[in-house]
């Protein structure tokens, strides 16, 4: 006589454990992705710092001031052409603003007027920097600003103070 053994019951129990294991793994992956994308990364402050550093290196290469920035032909888009910057982005409007103010070192403390002022980009973004100086924490949706002052001398050892203001908007992609 042949004894038949029914093995289908054991397969049904294993399939329940299999689906439970799949559910645990899928839940873990969902939780990791949810936590990772919960807060967006706002890289505008880093981008303004990098932009300011690139312009500082362009204006004063190894501490020597570039005399082209004092010339009279520094018109529209002078900074982007001289420093090889591209302010274009995927947005319709320009999302960057850069301003360079050049002061005579000897008259810097007594005079608030720069010898030369050069700007490039979207000038409307400068107003956001003035708002941020009020220390209002509700301005997360505003542009990010970075201001830096450097000391430089030209080839004739004439000292200058150079103030660089960089602004990056890109609020649609970075601020939530």
User: What residues are paired with 102 via a beta bridge?
Assistant: 116, 162
Note the pLDDT of residue 27: 98
Hey, what are 13's tokens?
Answer: 């129990």
Q: Taking residues 60-68, what's their average pLDDT?
A: 85
Q: Taking residues 38-42, what's their average pLDDT?
A: 78
Kindly give the residue spans of alpha helices, DSSP state H, lying in the chain: 8-36, 44-59, 78-82, 126-132, 171-174
Cβ neighbours of residue 64 closer than 8 Å, sequence gap 6 or more: 152, 153, 154, 155
Q: Is 92 helix (H, G, I), strand (E, B) or coil?
A: coil
Q: Are 145 and 89 in contact (CB under 8 A)?
A: no
Q: Can you tell me the distance from the alpha carbon of 27 to that of 1, in angstroms, rounded to the nearest whole number? A: 50
Name the band, by pLDDT with cuts 50, 70 and 90, for residue 37.
Answer: confident
Q: Taking residues 12-24, what's their average pLDDT?
A: 83
Hey, what are 49's tokens?
Answer: 């710092």
């Amino acid at each position: 006589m042949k004894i038949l053994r029914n093995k289908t019951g054991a397969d049904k129990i294993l399939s329940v454990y299999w689906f439970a294991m799949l559910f645990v793994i899928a839940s873990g992956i969902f939780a990791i992705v949810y936590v990772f994308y919960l807060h967006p990364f706002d890289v505008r402050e880093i981008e303004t710092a990098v932009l300011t550093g690139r312009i500082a290196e362009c204006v004063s290469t190894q501490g020597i001031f570039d005399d082209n920035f004092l010339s009279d032909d520094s018109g529209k888009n002078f900074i982007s052409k001289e420093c090889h910057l591209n302010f274009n982005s995927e947005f319709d409007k320009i999302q960057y603003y850069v301003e360079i103010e050049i002061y005579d070192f000897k008259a810097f403390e007594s005079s608030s007027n720069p010898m030369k002022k050069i700007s490039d980009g979207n000038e409307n973004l400068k107003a956001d920097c003035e708002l941020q100086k009020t220390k209002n924490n509700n301005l997360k949706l505003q542009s990010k600003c970075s201001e830096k002052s450097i000391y430089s001398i030209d080839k004739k050892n004439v000292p200058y103070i150079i103030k660089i203001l960089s602004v990056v908007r890109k609020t649609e992609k970075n601020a939530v």
